[in-house]
Structure 1
């Protein structure tokens, strides 16, 4: 099909080329030879009267025109997928869709594990891939590389729709054999104790309680930094250390580990967990169906 002398089939290749900026990788994704992919790039250059991708050393870089085209081309491809291609295969019982979600391990344990278990019976052909939240989540959503973000509100984008799933409080967790801590803990005692915390990303940014403590102009003694929330209760067992973590996750692990939950010495801000999706997927039938399943499961959390 042609529109204003543009072969619309070339848009698929253009979308891949602008994302990869590499002929070899683009040809692999398009299931074409490198020479055929180079030929498509030549046709696109003629149509747009621009080089689109230029060689800089060993790499190819997009021109200003290519950068302007990238978002609208991606939006067109996502719109076609959601409005035409996916609409024809909506039946969840036979769908073979692959759903990609960016989520922290906390939400996987308390929410997504339940969702995926339930959907196994209603949609056995749907597969899931869960990615950690420290790899340009907002950009991946914008490019259509993931279906959902399941993250605190402050990490969501204003460019795409989202919905509050639940509000989460924080508690302190100690080993049940820790004789230094009773049913309550003072602020001074909290600061004086050795802490287990979670570090995010390559810069190892600490979680919310560390940010909040800075409002008091104090520094905790961080003795252990872990890579995820699920390990926090395990790392306090047998020690006099303390961890600050999500209440639902702490209650979950209290069923299996010798730990105690105690209130935080100061009121920490609640965490507002949101589900976000790309705007062009708003009316995709199966996408909306999965979204509603996640929202219903979140509403039923204790």
Structure 2
């Protein structure tokens, strides 16, 4: 389809080209040949009267015109998708849609595994693509690359609506035969133990729970640092180490590994977990259906963070 002399299909190629800044990667993502992508770039250059991408060494860099066009093209494509989805019926049993969700491995384990199990029953051809959070999460949600973001309210994106899914407590977890778990854990014993912590991102940022401990001025000896919430339990089994874990995650792993759980000897605030989507997607019937499944998955946990079923 052409609009004022431009083949609108080229706008899809333009968005991918300006995002990847690569002929090869654009061809891979769009399932096209590299000559076809190069030809599309040539037609776009002719239409806009601008090179759009210029080679600088081994990398393509966008021109000023390209940087101006990118947010406009993304908004146009997102509006077109919203228009096409508005009012469309969503049939879970026959849909082959892939939903892309930004969520940590903690969220994947305690919530999205349940959602995936339900999908297998009622929507066997629907797929979930779970993407770890990053500094680009907001941009990915903004430009329509992902459908949902699920995470702690501390990282909520103010420009998108949010919905509280549940509140999470944190507990101390260790090996089941660790004598510290024979009673309440004293602060001195907690501080003296070796600890396993999770940090994330290029700056190795501490988790919500570990940030609380740092703010309280509790000095600990960090024995193991990992980059995954779900790996924490496996560094505890057979050792005297301790870890602060989400209550739901601890309950999940305590069912399959020899772990003990105790309350911290200090005040830990509850962590709020929220779900966000772009406001333009309110009319997306498929997304409405999926968020309903996610709410159901969150509801199977009791208020104290133990599985209700």
Normalised by the size of structure 2, how large is the TM-score? Answer: 0.88
Task: Label 1:218 to 1:264 Cα distance change in 2 as closer, same or farther (>3 A).
Answer: closer
Contact between 2:181 and 2:261, CA under 8 Å: does it hold in 1?
A: no
**TM-superposition CA deviations, 1:137-173 (whole Å, max 9, x none):** 2232223222222211222322222211111000111
**CA distance, structure 1, for counterparts of residue 224 and residue 36 of structure 2:** 53
1:67-216 paired onto structure 2 within 5 Å:
67-84=67-84, 88=88, 90-134=90-134, 136-216=136-216
Deviates more, 1:4-13 or 1:282-291: 4-13
SS of structure 1 residue aligned to 2:118: helix
**TM-superposition CA deviations, 1:173-226 (whole Å, max 9, x none):** 122322245422233332221111112234433322321222233431011223
Contact between 2:101 and 2:148, CA under 8 Å: does it hold in 1?
A: yes
SS of structure 2 residue aligned to 1:230: helix
Task: Label 1:214 to 1:256 Cα distance change in 2 as closer, same or farther (>3 A).
Answer: same
Task: Label 1:31 to 1:260 Cα distance change in 2 as closer, same or farther (>3 A).
Answer: closer
Normalised by the size of structure 1, how large is the TM-score? Answer: 0.90
Partner of 2:301: 301
Task: Label 1:240 to 1:27 Cα distance change in 2 as closer, same or farther (>3 A).
Answer: closer
**CA distance, structure 1, for counterparts of residue 140 and residue 190 of structure 2:** 38
**CA distance, structure 1, for counterparts of residue 197 and residue 152 of structure 2:** 18
**CA distance, structure 1, for counterparts of residue 131 and residue 191 of structure 2:** 33
Contact between 2:181 and 2:260, CA under 8 Å: does it hold in 1?
A: no
Contact between 2:88 and 2:285, CA under 8 Å: does it hold in 1?
A: no
**CA distance, structure 1, for counterparts of residue 229 and residue 246 of structure 2:** 8
C-alpha deviation, 1:93, in angstroms: 1.1
SS of structure 2 residue aligned to 1:158: coil
Contact between 1:138 and 1:156, CA under 8 Å: does it hold in 2?
A: no
Partner of 1:276: 276
Unaligned segments of structure 2, at least 5 residues:
303-309
Partner of 1:227: 227
Contact between 1:100 and 1:146, CA under 8 Å: does it hold in 2?
A: yes
Unaligned segments of structure 1, at least 5 residues:
none
Partner of 2:244: 244
**CA distance, structure 1, for counterparts of residue 23 and residue 231 of structure 2:** 42
- CA-based RMSD: 2.3
Task: Label 1:271 to 1:3 Cα distance change in 2 as closer, same or farther (>3 A).
Answer: same
**CA distance, structure 2, for counterparts of residue 128 and residue 234 of structure 1:** 26
Contact between 1:15 and 1:73, CA under 8 Å: does it hold in 2?
A: yes
C-alpha deviation, 1:135, in angstroms: 6.5
C-alpha deviation, 1:17, in angstroms: 1.5
